Amino acid sequence: MKVLILGVNGFIGNALTRRILTTTDWEVFGMDLSANKLEHSLGHERFHYLEGDITINKEWIEYHIKKCDVVLPLVAIATPATYVKEPLRVFELDFEENLRVIRQCVKYGKRVVFPSTSEVYAMCPDPEFKEDESPLVLGPINKPRWIYSCSKQLMDRVIAAYGQQEGLQYTCFRPFNWIGPKLDDMDAAKEGSSRVLTQFIVNLFQGKPIELVDGGAQKRCFTYVEDGIDGLMLIIRNKDGICDSQIFNLGNPKNECSIQDLAEKVSALYRSRKAKIKDFKEPVIAGVNADTYYGKGYQDITTRKPSVAKAKKLLGWEPRTSLDHALERTFDAFLEEWTRA
Ligand code: UGA
């Protein structure tokens, strides 16, 4: 199988590439702006990498869509701070640029595996979100935080419509707060615009307080990246076409944790690695309100728990890694990166 991964250097793209190259005989064609997370795969005989930009290298992309069997368009902005500050950039990249790729998959009859998101459920009141039943509940337009959710939701709908009307072969997957090594670039966290776990870890390394937005009672279900990749591999394999025209939540409902508890767990890990940390400072957990942290365009999600019954039934997939283990591995990978830098 020939797999095209756009955004191959991202958190999901790099982990998926490594897994494909080490466990299958497939070929990977990948493009991204840089390759700093791909040192494990660069130079592999079945990995073909182009340093490029989805908005510029359009001919290369079209040529490779024609050449490959399955296309994963993983290019996206996925940090809430950017949704609030630069909503147009989120729409243009996450929706418009990806739409062109989807249309070419339709044109050339290629299978697409699209990264939807847990964020599409937004403020859904269901205790567990179900792919084919739960309502998708967004806030008002004056809260640009929802532009990411809305762009991804519209893309899910457009893809499903291409499936319905023009026979596009597709599967959408919805990661629920995947965490693991290489989650985000530490430079983004230094500027304060990273996802929560990277942000907490980098704040500690910098000797800065961890900031709990609006008290930290909001919960997420953190999912270890390798568990997520297990699910994604089953989707790409698509045994007997079981994943065709389906959407799958890939999350770990057992790892539900409030942001306050997350702050405490990360602080405890930091303390336990004291001997390895240069300029260790006792961790401080502070409070901040959302308007100050993100700006007025932000609105939060209080609980976000996936039902993974469908993934279990159709794929035989279940997440296995506990939250503590996932946090430890993520923390240690960042510590190593920080120490090396
Ligand atoms: C994330 C992002 O939108 C995407 O990465 C992704 O599509 C999706 O959810 C997912 O990974 O499932 P969210 O979970 O809100 O959204 O993003 P985080 O930045 O990781 O924030 C989680 C929570 O921590 C939020 O309630 C936020 O307010 C809080 N937070 C964040 C803090 O309390 N302090 C911080 O320094 C950063």
Do residues 183 and 330 touch, judged by C-beta distance below 8 A? yes
Q: Do residues 213 and 294 touch, judged by C-beta distance below 8 A?
A: yes
Q: What residues have CB less than 8 Å from 85, skipping those under 6 apart?
A: 295, 297
Pocket of ligand 1 (CB under 6 A): 78, 80, 117-119, 148, 175-177, 195-196, 199, 211-213, 216, 218, 220, 259, 300
The residue whose CA is least distant from atom 23 of ligand 1 is 196
Mutational test site, ligand 1, from 190, 220, 292, max ligand atoms within 8 Å of CB: 220
Mutate to test the pocket of ligand 1, among 114, 195, 224 (most ligand atoms within 8 A of CB): 195
- Distance CA(158)–CA(337), nearest Å, equals 39
Instruction: State the Cα–Cα distance between residues 269 and 275, nearest whole angstrom.
Output: 12
What class is the 76-179+225-252+305-319 domain? alpha beta
Residue 166: per-residue pLDDT? 98
- With the most atoms of ligand 1 within 8 angstroms of its CB, the residue from 121, 176, 213, 260 to mutate is 213
Over 90: is that where the pLDDT of 341 sits? Answer: no
Report d(CA 89, CA 109) in Å as an integer.
29
Q: Given a cut of 90, is residue 59 above it in pLDDT?
A: yes
pLDDT at 208: 97
State in Å: Cα 251 to ligand 1 middle: 15
CA atoms 30, 23, 247, 37: torsion sign? negative
Q: How far is it, in rounded angstroms, from Cα 27 to Cα 1? A: 6
Token pair 């869509």 is at which residue? 65
Give the type of residue at 306.
Answer: P
Distance 26 CA to ligand 1 centre (A): 34
Give me ligand 1 centre to Cα 87, in Å.
16
Model confidence pLDDT, tens digit, residues 18-29: 999 999 999 999
Q: Please state the rounded mean pLDDT for residues 74-84.
A: 97
Ligand 1 centroid to Cα of residue 285, in Å, is 17
What mean pLDDT do residues 232-257 have?
98
Tell me, in angstroms, the distance from the centre of ligand 1 to residue 36's CA. 24
For 107, half-sphere exposure in the C-beta direction (CA atoms, 13 angstrom radius) is 11
pLDDT range class, residue 112, cuts 50, 70, 90: very high
Q: Residue 84 above 90 pLDDT?
A: yes
How far is the CA of 207 from the CAs of 66, 196, 251, 309, in angstroms?
A: 50, 16, 31, 42
Q: What is the pLDDT of residue 292?
A: 97
Mean pLDDT of the chain: 98
Q: From atom 7 of ligand 1, which residue's Cα is the shortest distance away?
A: 117
Which residues are part of the catalytic machinery?
Answer: 119, 304
For 62, the 3-state DSSP assignment is helix
Q: Measuring from atom 35 of ligand 1, which residue has the nearest CA? A: 196
DSSP 157-169: HHHHHHHHHH---
Kindly calculate the radius of gyration of the chain based on its CA atoms and give it in whole angstroms: 19
- Does residue 202 contact residue 277 with C-beta atoms inside 8 Å? no
pLDDT tens figures, 60-71 = 999 999 999 999
Element (H, E) at 246: strand 246-250
pLDDT above 90 (res 49): yes
292 Cβ contact partners less than 8 Å away, ≥ 6 residues apart: none
pLDDT above 90: percentage of residues in the chain: 98
